[in-house]
Copies of this chain bind each other. A is one copy, B any other.
Amino acid sequence: MSGHNFKSDLFEQFARIGKALSSGKRLEMLEFLAQGERSVEQLSNLTGLSVANTSQHLQQLRRVGLVTARKEGLYVHYRVAGDAIVRLVATLRAVGEEHMAEVDRLVKLFLDSKDTLEPVPAKELWQRVKQGLVTVLDVRPPEEYAQGHIRGAINVPVTELKKRLHQIPADQEVVAYCRGPYCLLAYEAVQVLRKKGIKARRLEDGYPEWRLRGLPVEMG
């Protein structure tokens, strides 16, 4: 047993995953991909990176098995390779929130609202959905909604919210959600809704976390 080499070889492998997670852009990509699959060009638009650069980042993620690619016609669709990866990124966020002063500073600076908007925990939301007490509002783009959303949620992208307010039942509370705890779409939606006099809160975190908890989802 040349045990010492085994262990360091193995840890060197795990370190490759760390390296893949060592870029903010790649973490952003993983958040988008956690919503469903996306082509290189779509991700390039979402992240604001050049197509070539986006492609290279995706290949780094693919080399360590975090994402897989599927070619269909001209397009290559990338997706996260499994739930374990979404869980890993969530754990990374949790550690950052708990232990990095700079994260705390940023969150307090931008999401002071985090206090005032009273996020709804996932379990509480599902209780109230089952009782028909609440409208669940998915404010992500329709491509993401189509690939999976909270069961019973209606989709009104935040960009169209003002025009489509009539689609939202005015008689009960609305809970908005989007991609995750640091996606701002749900924050904006809540603000818009409240200005119109609709009682609104946001889900504590986003669709991927909901799904990971095993709560009910639906597609299409």
The residue on B at minimum CB distance from A183 is: B7
The winner among A12, A18, A28, A64 for most chain B CB atoms within 10 A is A18
Of B24, B85, B109, which one neighbours A15 at CB under 8 angstroms? B24
Is B24 a contact partner of A92 (Cβ separation < 8 A)? no
The residue on B at minimum CB distance from A83 is: B98
Residues of B within 8 A of A109 (CB): 6
Name the interface residues of A16-56: CB closer than 8 Å to any CB of B: 16-28, 31
- Is A82 part of the binding interface, using a Cβ–Cβ cutoff of 8 Å? yes
Chain A, residues 71-98, CB within 8 Å of chain B (1/0): the string is: 0000000000110110110011111101
Interface residues on A, range: 35 or more
- Tell me what chain A mostly uses at the interface: helix, strand, loop, or mixed: helix
Of B27, B84, B101, B183, which one neighbours A99 at CB under 8 angstroms? B84
Binding site for B on A (CB under 8 A): 1, 3, 6-28, 31, 64-66, 81-82, 84-85, 87-88, 91-96, 98-103, 106-107, 109-110, 182-184, 187-188
The residue on B at minimum CB distance from A5 is: B110
A22–B12 CA distance with the chains assembled, in angstroms:
8
Q: How many copies does the complex hold?
A: 2
The residue on B at minimum CB distance from A26 is: B15
A15–B187 CA distance with the chains assembled, in angstroms:
24
Is A96 a contact partner of B7 (Cβ separation < 8 A)? no
Is B91 a contact partner of A88 (Cβ separation < 8 A)? yes
Of B91, B99, B184, which one neighbours A6 at CB under 8 angstroms? B184
A26–B11 CA distance with the chains assembled, in angstroms:
9
Is A15 a contact partner of B27 (Cβ separation < 8 A)? yes
Residues of B within 8 A of A110 (CB): 1, 3, 6
Q: A18-B20, A84-B95 are in contact. Are A65 and B101 (CB under 8 A)?
A: yes
